[in-house]
C-alpha cells in the first residue's frame, strides 16, 4: 500500500483514526510505503525509515537506530519557577540553546555535566526547577542533521 501524507490537513480525531487503520493493515501483514514530512507521524507508524536528501537516500534504518546514531543531539529541557535570562547562565558544553514556551531546550554532547551546572545555578540563584527532562534526539533532529550535511 502506498500512502502520501495520509493525515495532512486532518483534524486530530480523523488523524488518529487513519493512524489506527494504518497500524491494523500493517499488523495484518501488509507492507506500507508512507511518505510524510511529519517526523512524529513517521516515528509512530514506521518500522524502517528512509531519509531522502536531494533525491538520494542518505539513511535507512529503524527510527530508534537513526536517533541513536545522533547522540550529539541529546538535549535537556528545563523550566524554572521564575523567568531566567539564559544568556546570563554560565554553562559550558552547550551547542545550541532555544526557548520553547516557558522552557529552555539545551543541546549538548555531555548532558550529565550540563544538568549538574543547571542544578548548581538554580541553587545559587534560589530558583526552583519546575521540570527537567533529558531528551534523546527526535527524528526531526536526525532529519535536519542528515539533510543539512554537504552532499
87 shares a domain with 50: no
How many domains does the chain divide into?
2
Which residues lie closer than 8 Å to 45 by C-beta, 6 or more apart?
19, 22, 23, 26, 32, 34
86 shares a domain with 57: no
85 shares a domain with 51: no
Q: What is the pLDDT along the chain (151 residues), one digit of tens a residue?
A: 999 999 999 999 999 999 999 999 999 999 999 999 999 999 999 999 999 999 999 999 999 999 888 766 789 999 999 998 888 888 999 988 999 899 999 989 899 999 999 999 999 999 999 999 998 888 998 998 889 865 4
What predicted TM-score, i.e. pTM, was given to this entire model?
Answer: 0.67
* pLDDT of the residue at 150: 58
Provide the terminal-to-terminal Cα distance of the chain, rounded to the nearest Å: 31
Give the whole-angstrom CA distance, residue 41 versus residue 38: 5
91 shares a domain with 64: no
81 shares a domain with 63: no
Expressed as residue numbers, the domain containing 44 is 2-68+142-148
Q: What is the CATH number of the domain that holds 21?
A: 3.40.50.300
11 shares a domain with 58: yes
Nearest residue to 80 via CA among 121, 136, 110, 44: 121
83 shares a domain with 125: yes
Amino acid at each position: 500500500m502506498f500512502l502520501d501524507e495520509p493525515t495532512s490537513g486532518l483534524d486530530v480525531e480523523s488523524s488518529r483514526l487513519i493512524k489506527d487503520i494504518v497500524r491494523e493493515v500493517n499488523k495484518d501483514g501488509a507492507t506500507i510505503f508512507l511518505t510524510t514530512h511529519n517526523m512524529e507521524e513517521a516515528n509512530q507508524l514506521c518500522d524502517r525509515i528512509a531519509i531522502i536528501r536531494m533525491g538520494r537516500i542518505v539513511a535507512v534504518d529503524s527510527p530508534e537506530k537513526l536517533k541513536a546514531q545522533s547522540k550529539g543531539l541529546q538535549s535537556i529541557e528545563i523550566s524554572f519557577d521564575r523567568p531566567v535570562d539564559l544568556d546570563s547562565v554560565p554553562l559550558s558544553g552547550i551547542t545550541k540553546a532555544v526557548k520553547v514556551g516557558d522552557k529552555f531546550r539545551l543541546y549538548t554532547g555531555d548532558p550529565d555535566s550540563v544538568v549538574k551546572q543547571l542544578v548548581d545555578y538554580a541553587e545559587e540563584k534560589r530558583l526552583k526547577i519546575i521540570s527537567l527532562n533529558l531528551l534523546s534526539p527526535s527524528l526531526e533532529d536526525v532529519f535536519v542533521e542528515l539533510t543539512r550535511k554537504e552532499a
